[in-house]
Amino acid sequence: MKQSSALVLVLLLLSCCMAAPCLGDPLDAFSGQKGTIKIAGGTAHIPVMTEAAKRIMTRHNDISITVAGGGSGLGIKQAGERLVDIGNSGREPKPEEIERYGLAVYKWAIDGVGVVVHPKNPVTSLSSEQLKDIFSGKIDNWKSLGGPDHAITLYTRDEASGTREVFWEKALSKGPISPKALFTASNGAMKTAVANDPYAIGYVSVGHMDKSIVPVTLDGVTPTLETVKNGGYKVSRGLFSNTKGEPQGLTRLFIDYLFTSEGQKIAADKGFIPVK
């Protein structure tokens, strides 16, 4: 009798899983929900945000999620002014920003910011002092570093960028950046610029690095996920999602999803270090 009851229970469980997603699927939390989530800010976050949004909207047709960039400063400001539901930043909001806007802050991954050059550039290792001299404009020719006799094309990000801020603070020790530096609008744009210019140097999120560019070893440490994770590479930062006050409704569900095993795997798959 007990064996018969157990068999019936197993069959019932199997039929339930075949008819609908098994219990424990993080996307089940969105069942029956309707509405829109607007997300903007840090560009390093975009691959994770778009993948999470795609999975949610594929399963739940009544939910619409828009994802835009604009930089960390914009993300913080727009979240604080309720222009978006979630404002992403590649730096932790400053205490005065948190107080001014009444922000709730959520750190869901860790990232490194590394110097990159074109694959044909023989200069793939620098000291911190050499890097500072390049970005200040003191060194302006690759020949000074053992490379070709050609002017260095210097790329940076605007001051609203969280990627720039962590690079400026931790790699350049808040030193000057040459006014001759060319600006790019995002990690993706920086990567494209460096990949298309044999004499370029710039910096991108480690999560954005691929074979189109070459990471530069800094003080003997190459920026990789492993060196960021073990603390060997020091130019690192958290990836944050910020909301005006404690998130509610769909926004709360989206933030929670980032911390599920599935959300954290998306972060890892996109080249970041999960916090859980």
pLDDT of residue 2: 41
pLDDT of residue 208: 87
Q: Is residue 11 exposed (0-12), middle (13-18) or buried (19+ Cβ within 10 Å)?
A: exposed
The arithmetic mean of pLDDT across residues 173-202, rounded, is: 96
In sequence order, what are the beta bridge partners of 155? Answer: 182
The arithmetic mean of pLDDT across residues 79-88, rounded, is: 98
Structure tokens at 7: 């068999």
Domain 27-110+239-274 maps to which CATH number in 1.20.1250.20, 2.60.40.1120, 3.40.190.10, 3.40.50.1980?
Answer: 3.40.190.10
CA–CA separation, 194 and 184 (whole Å): 10
Nearest to 237 by CA among 189, 261, 205: 205
pLDDT digits (tens, 9 = 90+) for 244-255: 999 999 999 999
Nearest to 115 by CA among 180, 206, 178, 189: 206
Q: pLDDT category, 3, cuts 50, 70, 90?
A: very low
Per-residue pLDDT at 274 exceeds 90: yes
CA–CA separation, 210 and 23 (whole Å): 37
Nearest to 218 by CA among 204, 207, 232, 205: 232
pLDDT of residue 276: 85
The SS3 assignment for 39 reads strand
- pTM of this prediction? 0.78
pLDDT of residue 98: 98
The arithmetic mean of pLDDT across residues 46-74, rounded, is: 97
pLDDT of residue 12: 36
The arithmetic mean of pLDDT across residues 193-204, rounded, is: 98
Per-residue pLDDT at 236 exceeds 60: yes
Per-residue pLDDT at 182 exceeds 80: yes
| Residue carrying the six token digits 């620098």 | 126
Tell me what percent of the residues of the chain surpass a pLDDT of 70.
92
CATH 3.40.190.10 residue spans of the chain: 27-110+239-274, 112-236
Per-residue pLDDT at 63 exceeds 60: yes
CA–CA separation, 93 and 83 (whole Å): 17
Residue 80 contacts residue 244 (beta carbons within 8 Å): yes
CA–CA separation, 200 and 214 (whole Å): 11
The arithmetic mean of pLDDT across residues 177-197, rounded, is: 96
In the chain, beta strands by DSSP E: 35-41, 63-70, 86-89, 103-117, 125-126, 153-157, 182-184, 200-205, 214-215, 217-218, 236-244, 273-274
pLDDT digits (tens, 9 = 90+) for 8-53: 333 333 333 333 344 479 999 999 999 999 999 999 999 999 999 9
pLDDT of residue 10: 34
For the chain, state the CA radius of gyration: 22
pLDDT digits (tens, 9 = 90+) for 165-178: 999 999 999 999 99
pLDDT digits (tens, 9 = 90+) for 125-159: 999 999 999 999 999 999 999 999 999 999 999 98
The fold adopted by the segment(s) 112-236 is D-Maltodextrin-Binding Protein; domain 2 (3.40.190)
Q: How far apart are the first and last CA of the chain?
A: 44
pLDDT of residue 17: 36
CA–CA separation, 192 and 207 (whole Å): 15
The arithmetic mean of pLDDT across residues 60-71, rounded, is: 96
Q: pLDDT category, 1, cuts 50, 70, 90?
A: very low
pLDDT of residue 46: 95
